[in-house]
């Protein structure tokens, strides 16, 4: 059978349908994705190596979806690690993207985004980095997360720590602080909370550590919850957004000059010009001050606080809302019935 004009083979991987649009609004083809990832494979693979990997795939006719479990049809040579997922009570087989062939295989599967864990296999109980994700409110100018990044950077300078910064590839910024393996996940999480809190105190007009979105008052959320088994879009990873932007590293001195739209799969490889700015920016693992860790342990865990506060607010709302009279039309309406078979978990899933 003749090979289609849009098909080719690289490193033993059959690449198909390369001239198809990547997704609606991408302004790019599958070939553009493959070419970009291949061009930066020697930079992105060190970021992904030995880290359990989740990817966001965009298949034709479907919304983007996150894939954690390595599919059964994956080649036998794709390295993987099995990890127990307590939340779903199952074992998940995570891929390890440790070589060019695996990266190309993922590209052919239309994997656009690459989200590795913050720990490596063999040391999954120790994070390699502290991460603060700067998440601006919807519609905010990029100058807001830039200002927030300046606050976090100043906190790190005051602590004698070095961090690296990159665009998230979406609307915000990611700041990484490499740490030593002897730090537990709990201590790493505590230190991250303390850094975020100090940055919030430094610039309270711009930043917030409020986990509940309704409490952020239009400020940049300093997300300090990327710990434990959390994942973060990798440096150099494309994002499944219009124009296919890339999570791109840059120097702190360029912070006020860049915009997320500056870096896409169409130009990012050329902008590197042979350099690896992420590897250059990341310092060796650093020891954290003991008082910073202790300070963080005194700060409540945001997700737990949000969970309890959400329950409290729900109870308050129920208490403040009078029950409808049993004889009223509202009380007998099918829309008000808790037995409605289309409510809650019985509604068809978006993935279905």
Whole-angstrom distance, CA of residue 131 vs CA of residue 196: 10
158 and 192 inside one domain = yes
Residue 339 has pLDDT above 90, yes or no: no
pLDDT in tens, 26-73: 999 999 999 999 999 999 999 999 999 999 999 988 899 999 999 999
Q: How far apart are CA 351 and CA 6, in angstroms?
A: 29
- Return the higher-pLDDT residue of 265 and 312: 265
Report the SS3 class of residue 305: helix
Say if residue 141 is in the same domain as residue 155. yes
Specify whether 290 is located in the same domain as 160. Answer: yes
Residue 116's SS3 state is strand
pLDDT at 305: 65
Please say which residue of 85, 100, 124 terminates a domain. Answer: 124
In a domain, 217, yes or no: yes
Provide the domain limits for residue 17: 8-124
**CATH (domain of 91):** 3.90.920.10
Identify the residue with better confidence: 52 or 343: 52
Residues 153, 293, single domain; the answer is: yes
- The yes-or-no verdict on residue 118 having pLDDT over 70 is yes
What secondary structure letter does DSSP report for 47? H
Q: Of 234, 271, 287, 302, whose CA–CA distance to 55 is shortest?
A: 234
In the listed set 289, 304, 319, which residue is the last one of a domain according to the structure? 304
Nearest to 43 by CA among 268, 262, 230, 231: 268
Q: Which of 145, 156, 232 is nearest to 191 (CA)?
A: 156
pLDDT (tens digit, 9 = 90+) per residue, 1-13?
A: 444 567 899 999 9
Query: Within a domain: residue 334?
Result: no
In a domain, 346, yes or no: no
Whether residue 331 is predicted with pLDDT greater than 60 in this model: the reply is no
What pLDDT is attached to residue 344?
30
User: Are 12 and 102 within 8 A, CB to CB?
Assistant: no
**140 in Cβ contact with 220 (< 8 Å):** yes
Q: Do residues 34 and 104 make contact, with C-beta atoms less than 8 angstroms apart? A: yes
Q: Are 239 and 28 in contact (CB under 8 A)?
A: no
**Residues 6 or more apart from 19 whose CB is under 8 A from it?**
5, 6, 29, 30, 31
């Amino acid at each position: 059978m003749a090979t289609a004009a849009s098909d080719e083979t690289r490193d033993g991987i059959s690449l198909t349908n390369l001239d198809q649009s990547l997704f609606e609004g991408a302004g790019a083809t599958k070939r553009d994705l493959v070419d970009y990832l291949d061009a930066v494979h020697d930079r992105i693979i060190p970021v992904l190596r030995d880290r359990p990997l989740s990817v966001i795939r965009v298949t034709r006719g479907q919304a983007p979806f996150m894939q954690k479990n390595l599919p059964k049809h994956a080649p036998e040579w794709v390295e993987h690690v099995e990890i127990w997922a307590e939340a779903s009570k199952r074992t998940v087989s995570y891929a390890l993207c440790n070589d060019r062939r695996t990266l190309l295989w993922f590209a052919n599967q239309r994997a656009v985004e690459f989200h590795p864990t913050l720990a490596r296999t063999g040391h999954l109980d120790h994070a390699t980095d502290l991460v603060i994700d700067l998440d601006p409110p919807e519609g905010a100018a990029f100058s807001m997360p830039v200002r927030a990044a300046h606050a976090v950077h100043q906190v790190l300078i005051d602590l004698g720590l070095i961090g690296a910064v990159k665009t998230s590839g979406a609307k915000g910024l990611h700041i990484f602080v490499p740490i030593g393996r002897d730090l537990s996940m709990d201590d790493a999480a505590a230190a991250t909370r303390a850094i975020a809190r100090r940055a919030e105190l430094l610039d309270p007009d711009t930043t917030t550590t409020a986990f509940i979105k309704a409490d952020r008052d239009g400020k940049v959320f300093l997300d300090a919850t990327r710990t434990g088994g959390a994942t973060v879009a990798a440096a150099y990873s494309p994002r499944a957004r219009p124009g296919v932007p890339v999570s791109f590293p840059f120097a702190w001195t360029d912070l006020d000059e860049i915009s997320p739209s500056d870096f896409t799969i169409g130009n990012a490889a050329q902008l590197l010009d042979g350099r690896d700015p992420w590897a250059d920016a990341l310092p060796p693992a650093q020891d954290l001050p003991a008082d910073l860790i202790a300070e963080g342990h005194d700060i409540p865990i945001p997700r737990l606080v949000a969970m309890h506060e959400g329950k409290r607010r729900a109870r308050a709302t129920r208490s403040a809302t009078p029950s409808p009279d049993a004889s009223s039309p509202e009380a007998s309406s099918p829309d008000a019935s808790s037995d409605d078979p289309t409510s809650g978990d019985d509604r068809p899933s978006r993935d279905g």
